[in-house]
Structure 1
Amino acid sequence: METDVFESEKRTELPLASSAGGCGCCSSEPSSSRVGTGDVEFTVEGLTCGHCVLAVEKAVSALEGVESASVELVPGGPSRLVVSGPVNGGAVRDAVTSAGYSVISN
């Protein structure tokens, strides 16, 4: 005797997220919850993979005053670098450049 693993009475209906805002992982809008007071955003070009992200995060994290550095990767396009802590924009630009990438805006 076989049983149907997809029996409808055993399914649980889950509520869907509002389509207006989307979810955090799929939304095309930047998440403002990730950027707190004192955070500085930079747009970086040339990153194509996780190794690129690690190189930039490591270079920027080594700067004095940087509490954290996080990259939101857009392979082949402009990626977003968020730096927390009292930072010097010129020093961040130099660190990104020394890692082999370009800051296009901040």
Structure 2
Amino acid sequence: MLRQGMETGVFESEKRTELPLARSAGGCGCCSSEPSSSRVAADGVEFTVEGLTCGHCVQTVEKAVSALEDMESASVELVPGGRSRLVVSGRANSVAVREAVTSAGYSVISN
């Protein structure tokens, strides 16, 4: 049974976040047939990660990578079911980042 005042307008005020599509010559980031190359982002080193599907996956990867010694930050741009972007900053090496992502249950495609 609905509480009074909840019958209408519940979904009208709901705010939704639009995720931007990654642009590339081969299409969006999750459908591109071109291999993703690693590059140094403006704020750190970029890795391409597969297997993330939701916010919980993002938190799991960010927590695993942030726990590395000498890591300043880890941030994931989620592409559900596709290739997500992990940007890290700090002095942890790429092998350690790759191992942290793999131990969290996901795959690093490039770094």
Bin for the TM-score computed over the shorter chain: 0.5 to 0.7
How far the C-alpha of 1:82 sits from its partner, in A, is 0.2
TM-score normalised by length of structure 2: 0.64
Unaligned runs of 5+ in 2: 1-18, 25-40
1:53 aligns with 58
Q: Which has the higher helix share?
A: 1
**Change over 3 Å in CA distance of 1:47–1:66 after alignment to 2:** same
Structure 1, unaligned runs of 5 or more: 1-24
Q: Which runs of 4+ in 1 moved over 3 A?
A: 25-30
Structure 2 counterparts to residues 89-104 of structure 1, below 5 A: 89-104=94-109
State the shift of 1:79 in Å: 0.2
Question: What corresponds to 1:41 in structure 2?
Answer: 46
Could you tell me the TM-score, scaled by structure 1's length?
Answer: 0.67
**Higher gyration radius (CA):** 1
Deviation of the 1:35 alpha carbon: 2.7
Aligned Cα root-mean-square deviation (Å): 1.8
